[in-house]
Amino acid sequence: MKKVLNKKVDMKKMGIIFLAGVLASVVTGCGGGNSSGGYKATDPVDRAPYFGIGNGAAKTALENGTRADVNIRKAVEIYIGDDKGLKSYYVEINDVVVAKLDNLSGLESIVSLDLTELQDQNSDATFALQGGRIYDARIVAVDSANQSTIANFDLNTKEFYEYVAMIGDATAAGWTNTAAIPLEQHPTIEGRFTWQGHLEPGAIKFPLAPIPGDWCCIEWIMPEADQQSVTNPAMKVIPSGGPDNKWQVPVAGEYTIVIDQKTQKVYFGAPAYELGMVGDGTVAGWNLNGAVRFERDAIDPMVFTTVTDLAATGGEQALKLFGQANGENYEWSNGIWIFAPSTAADLPTEAPGPIVVKVGANSSADDLKWKVSPEKAGTYLIRVNLKDNTILFTKQN
């Protein structure tokens, strides 16, 4: 799909904007023309800076041989201008015309392309670009004197943002733009970024590029609503000038943040985002997929609770807890494991008892469980506090 806007502009000023791009990276190509001279009637190959690509106020000039890095998850604006007057243009991707306009007047046209829903202007068929590919692209423009100008360039599509940082008074960076804290990109999972550390009560959001001094012209990962709880992982990519939504961290503590661009989720684990429980003393047995699930407290995200039956059944009459920081399926080989402080430990029912939290696969020596004795069988409210690493079993009958 495309949107078109025509208007008169100062092309010399527009050239400065185009050349200050942050979206596309310009690579010297083999095309002809004299890019330093701008448009010439005798040089129809290269007319920078009158072609540009970007989103919002940040643009990059398109010259012959340019490579433009674009993210397929957001619309891209292509700028076509001519200080002699713009009569018509068309834009091609892999020899398919995706935008065209005739009978223009004025100096500039701006077309917005949704790369996930492009339309063949000659057949009305629609198609989507894929991330991680390089497409052949071309702009052909005709000025008021019927002189054509062509810019052939590579469109390098990226499915995910390759930079994520965090900022806000919940972080050590505060609101100092130059102190934004980068997250670490996952070594094997595309689009996933993680961070572990201390957060204070306050607000937090995630810039998708280094923050300039005027805070302008970059995209952000933000929640769907302002002051959204960190127990709600729903996110949106918001451009500059959009809503200034932030997550609200309610209590200080050690957090694990996992941002998954593929699923469009931001998980604030403390350190776990969710908890489950298995064991032959539980209704789940040792079935991870049927684990007893805990509910995370909306006010204090480090507290998890569940009400369930415990029984003195099976060979071990035991139970243990586990969790994940990223909302994925539970697996024996990874995750966040919560063990008892000793083998066959009694259920702490009078006062909270200690837990041992370990991340990743653990040896059999670490595999310490609580035991459900016959006299302790019954229905329990189980409360886990990951801030002070305690667990309490309160009998309900």
pLDDT in tens, 289-345: 889 999 999 888 889 999 999 999 888 889 998 888 776 767 777 678 899 999 999
Check: CB of residue 279 under 8 Å from CB of residue 311: no
Question: DSSP string covering 138-157, please?
Answer: EEEEEETT--EEEEEEEEEE
Residues 305 and 376 reside in one and the same domain: yes
Residue 17 vs residue 256, higher pLDDT: 256
Q: Which residues contact 30 (CB under 8 A, 6 or more apart)?
A: 65
Residues 71 and 199 reside in one and the same domain: no
Mean pLDDT confidence for 377-396: 95
Mean pLDDT confidence for 222-251: 91
Residues 148 and 295 reside in one and the same domain: no
Give how far Cα 121 sits from Cα of 3, 77, 100, Å. Answer: 13, 17, 7
Residues 215 and 339 reside in one and the same domain: no
* Exposure class string for 56-78: b at 16+ Cβ within 10 A, else e: bebbbbbbbbbbbbbbbbbbbbb
pLDDT score, position 18: 33
The average confidence (pLDDT) of the chain is: 83
Residues 232 and 87 reside in one and the same domain: no
Query: What is the pLDDT confidence band of residue 41, given thresholds at 50, 70 and 90?
Result: very low
Check: CB of residue 157 under 8 Å from CB of residue 129: yes
Name the helix (H) or strand (E) containing 359. Answer: strand 356-359
**CA–CA separation, 359 and 122 (whole Å):** 56
Residues 58 and 205 reside in one and the same domain: no
Residues 324 and 288 reside in one and the same domain: yes
Could you list the residue range(s) of the whole structural domain that residue 117 is in? 2-158
Residues 171 and 297 reside in one and the same domain: no
Helix or strand or coil: residue 394? strand
Number of domains comprising the chain: 3
Number of alpha carbons in the 13 Å side-chain half-sphere of residue 287:
7
Residues 325 and 213 reside in one and the same domain: no
pLDDT score, position 30: 28
Residues 16 and 141 reside in one and the same domain: yes
Which pLDDT tens digit goes with each residue over 148-181?
A: 888 899 999 988 998 999 999 999 999 999 999 9
Look up residue 242 and give its amino acid: G
Phi, psi of 364 (to 5 degrees): -65, -25
Residues 13 and 102 reside in one and the same domain: yes
Last residue of a domain, one of 108, 140, 158: 158
**CA–CA separation, 261 and 267 (whole Å):** 11
Does 395 have pLDDT greater than 90?
A: yes
Nearest Cα residue to 271 out of 209, 227, 336, 342: 336
Nearest Cα residue to 259 out of 159, 161, 357, 361: 161
| Total residue count of the chain as it appears in this document | 397
Least confident stretch, 72-86, 137-151, 203-217, 319-333: 319-333
Last residue of a domain, one of 158, 177, 200: 158
Q: Give percent of the chain above pLDDT 90.
A: 52
* Exposure class string for 248-287: b at 16+ Cβ within 10 A, else e: bbbbebebbbbbbbeeebbbbbbbbbbbbbbbbbbbbebe
**CA–CA separation, 356 and 384 (whole Å):** 12
**CA–CA separation, 231 and 79 (whole Å):** 41
Residues 287 and 264 reside in one and the same domain: no
pLDDT score, position 355: 94
> Measured at the alpha carbon of residue 387, what is the angle toward residues 383 and 391, in degrees to the nearest 5?
30
**CA–CA separation, 25 and 243 (whole Å):** 28
Query: What is the pLDDT confidence band of residue 55, given thresholds at 50, 70 and 90?
Result: low
Read off the CATH number of the domain in which 72 is found: 2.60.40.10
Read off the CATH number of the domain in which 171 is found: 2.60.40.3620
pLDDT score, position 323: 85
> Which pair of tokens denotes residue 170?
């919940």
Last residue of a domain, one of 242, 269, 296: 269
Question: Dihedral angle at the C-alpha atoms of 322, 324, 329, 331, nearest 10 degrees?
Answer: -50
Check: CB of residue 182 under 8 Å from CB of residue 193: no
Residue 314 vs residue 360, higher pLDDT: 314
